[in-house]
Structure 1
């Protein structure tokens, strides 16, 4: 048994007992490389380092690498991450390099978590993944295990990753393993999610890949591992999770558009409908943002021939919500005798969700663009952001809003810093605030003199008071 323990430096195809392999991983005898040290990659690399004590992280950004190697943390607002990075770096458990090929030559477990965006033509862009796989292939050895965590179109692992690894390494699957093990992590709770908020999903290109991946993630995730039939099934799990949310939100948003015609608070109806156990309608809002939900539908829409009318309709509905929001601003101003083109509008919350620094696909981007295109003087407030160059607006601090004498305010993303806004300040000096758009139904109970229109809740524009808000 002593000899078996000393010779376990890789997991795929290892002859040692499962528990011996697990101990080798936990003792750092099986070196790990994590490719991509972004907002999800750095937390993942840090947890691997904390558990195994032998991790090299690869990122092509030299500033990121320098920060990590100094024990710093460039990913902000992730509870516990700064302390964890400092700890594992000081212990020698984590180091970083700008050379993925160097990381590949040192590791026998390769964990890939790089961006997989879409192009302007709405097609999956896997160029970064391809480049990383090429580097791994050049350093791949018999017994190595490649774990893909970044979201990809189904069949990517079997039809794209494997062939590139085989070509670069001159090895074949069976000599090395590959599994798709999707990240199921949200910004602002990355460490909690990685360590076990939900079970880890694992699907290998062969049974040995699945088994070896299970050894790894059972040591990482306290909720255990859910093994599925194969890598493509695991890819579907991740994509389907996002598609469900996009379609569900689209239903909520379409129902919200009936608010005025039906004369009801749709949000109230949704809340009560959801007391039935078979109903789980999500919340409507001014749009859908982030690096996941708005993109994943195109991982099925574009690469495959099967018709995707529902997915495409859901995308169209959700993409139209910023325009709906702007139209409600226009209606509120016109009800008060004002022109949109001659107005000042303040957008509160520019990131895609509260408490998170991410702006990718944020509804505030098209909202600001459409207001600006209409001739509006647009200003934005967001405590998460130092720069707003992606938005068609000027950034101001919250305490400067009253001095702008806004004609309308749009609450897109309700950061907690907005909870204590003194709405009365927006009316001082006889300023006439004509309308407030409550994008996420978070202003109920606030003392707001202006008419408030809540997406899904309604409100009688042109009248003072709370309108249709509960």
Structure 2
């Protein structure tokens, strides 16, 4: 906690040398505000608090603010975060508020990590715009604004900086602006922030890049890599996500070909990947989460250049839940079970194992497609509160007692590994992840992309 009587200082165009700036940062003399205390923002605020001792987290949800100020993390499933939040609040290094204006006036570093949503294929920058307006109104000469939210390339230049200039009482040459993309995955946020990967920073100008590099150099054990400008840094983050979407689409299309060819796509991919230039991802029943399904839309229709590859990849991945549902229906029919009279367990609503996140959930999309074909479903997930998902659900422990006609594995939670499959031995099982052992399985088992019949 910053208790010195010395005035706080900014990092942009500061007359202090780099060593003294670092000393001030680590002594709490550079107050930090982190805007957005969600799955990415709270871990980031907590790491900054651990290093600087002077962080205010800002969130519009009063429940989040209350929880943090009580020393309790509202974000679950993050190893080490509960303890770090509790300790940081207890020492006064971290506090939370819903008063964005007061936080903006007091801070000298502003880190924005609010969500960027996509509505009907169009990026929604309203959260970024509102935050930039409020931060701009509180800017002081020497302040540094760092955007971590994933945004369409050009957002800092064309949206954030003009808003900051319009709302502030200082000149554009008196504050810094940099894009510093979060490279963090749910379930391992603290590890990622502290240096699992190099930290990318791109400044609006040379001084912004220098200041941002100095700041992030204090919280990461990895290297800080400065790129040419903020737009390049924005591209880095979007390119990462688009690469994965296209790669997964390739794997999914190969899986569908493998079924026709009668080969195991996972074996083929594994052997192909022994070439150093080859890194094909794994196929699955769909792509979910708050990142990969959205990032292509930061480029599709946002620029004049056509993007047929990105469109095709997105189409392939969006089709996979329906393809998985059709496979379930075909397997039911092949087993002599009328799909219209069947009840199928859908295993996994979270978009990936162990993470309480259902945005763009393949499991929910599979359920929707099954319902359209008249198949009844029961959802199972050990980490998601299914009462909030508007689906019929049951605890995992009830799996053997429901008389299911089949099951489809969508998310490979560890809790699903040793389910009592013999409870549906007269029915079918479709494995969308390729994690079940065919030789040890008592039911009619169809593994997507393994080239064998169920």
Alignment TM-score, normalising by the size of structure 1:
0.94
- Contact (CA 8 Å) 1:239, 1:296: kept in 2 or not? yes
- Deviation (angstroms), 1:321: 0.3
- Deviation (angstroms), 1:6: 5.1
Is the aligned partner of 1:160 residue 2:159? Answer: yes
Match of 1:180 in 2: 179
| Partner of residue 446 from structure 2, selected from 439, 453, 461 | 453
Match of 2:409 in 1: 411
Measure the CA separation in 2 of the matches of 1:122 and 1:264: 35
Match of 1:51 in 2: 51
- Please list, as runs of the form range in 1=range in 2, the aligned pairs for 1:61-460 lying within 5 A after superposition: 61-119=61-119, 121-391=120-390, 393-427=391-425, 432-433=426-427, 435-444=428-437, 447-460=440-453
Measure the CA separation in 2 of the matches of 1:289 and 1:416: 18
Measure the CA separation in 1 of the matches of 2:161 and 2:229: 13
- Deviation (angstroms), 1:448: 1.9
Measure the CA separation in 2 of the matches of 1:330 and 1:445: 20
- Contact (CA 8 Å) 1:111, 1:147: kept in 2 or not? yes
SS of residue matched to 1:361 = coil
Structure 1 residues 339 and 389: CA distance shift in structure 2, 3 A: farther
Measure the CA separation in 2 of the matches of 1:196 and 1:260: 41
- Contact (CA 8 Å) 2:110, 2:144: kept in 1 or not? yes
- Contact (CA 8 Å) 2:150, 2:238: kept in 1 or not? yes
- Contact (CA 8 Å) 2:403, 2:423: kept in 1 or not? no
- Contact (CA 8 Å) 2:260, 2:451: kept in 1 or not? no
- Contact (CA 8 Å) 2:132, 2:160: kept in 1 or not? yes
- Deviation (angstroms), 1:390: 3.0
SS of residue matched to 2:89 = helix
- Deviation (angstroms), 1:399: 2.1
- Deviation (angstroms), 1:457: 1.2
Query: Which structure 2 segments of 5+ residues have no match?
Result: none
SS of residue matched to 2:217 = helix
Measure the CA separation in 2 of the matches of 1:390 and 1:315: 24
SS of residue matched to 1:395 = coil
Measure the CA separation in 1 of the matches of 2:180 and 2:54: 20
CA RMSD of aligned residues (A): 1.3
- Contact (CA 8 Å) 2:259, 2:448: kept in 1 or not? no
C-alpha offsets along residues 55-114 of structure 1, whole Å, 9 cap, x if unaligned? 001000000000000101110010000000000000000000011111101101000000
Measure the CA separation in 1 of the matches of 2:276 and 2:26: 42
- Deviation (angstroms), 1:116: 0.1
- Deviation (angstroms), 1:372: 1.6
Measure the CA separation in 2 of the matches of 1:443 and 1:54: 49
C-alpha offsets along residues 147-172 of structure 1, whole Å, 9 cap, x if unaligned? 00010000000110000000000333
C-alpha offsets along residues 399-457 of structure 1, whole Å, 9 cap, x if unaligned? 21222211110000011111222222334xxxx22x21111111025632222111221
Measure the CA separation in 2 of the matches of 1:129 and 1:66: 23
- Deviation (angstroms), 1:329: 0.5
Measure the CA separation in 2 of the matches of 1:452 and 1:40: 38
SS of residue matched to 1:110 = strand
Match of 1:27 in 2: 27
- Deviation (angstroms), 1:302: 2.4
SS of residue matched to 2:34 = strand
- Contact (CA 8 Å) 1:147, 1:178: kept in 2 or not? yes
Structure 1 residues 397 and 280: CA distance shift in structure 2, 3 A: same
SS of residue matched to 1:115 = coil
Measure the CA separation in 2 of the matches of 1:334 and 1:65: 52
Which segments of structure 1 move beyond 4 Å, counting only runs of 4 or more? 5-8
Measure the CA separation in 2 of the matches of 1:136 and 1:266: 50
Moved more, 170-179 or 214-223: 170-179
C-alpha offsets along residues 339-385 of structure 1, whole Å, 9 cap, x if unaligned? 21110000111100001001111101110111122221110110101
Structure 1 residues 137 and 347: CA distance shift in structure 2, 3 A: same
- Contact (CA 8 Å) 2:147, 2:180: kept in 1 or not? yes
- Contact (CA 8 Å) 1:133, 1:161: kept in 2 or not? yes
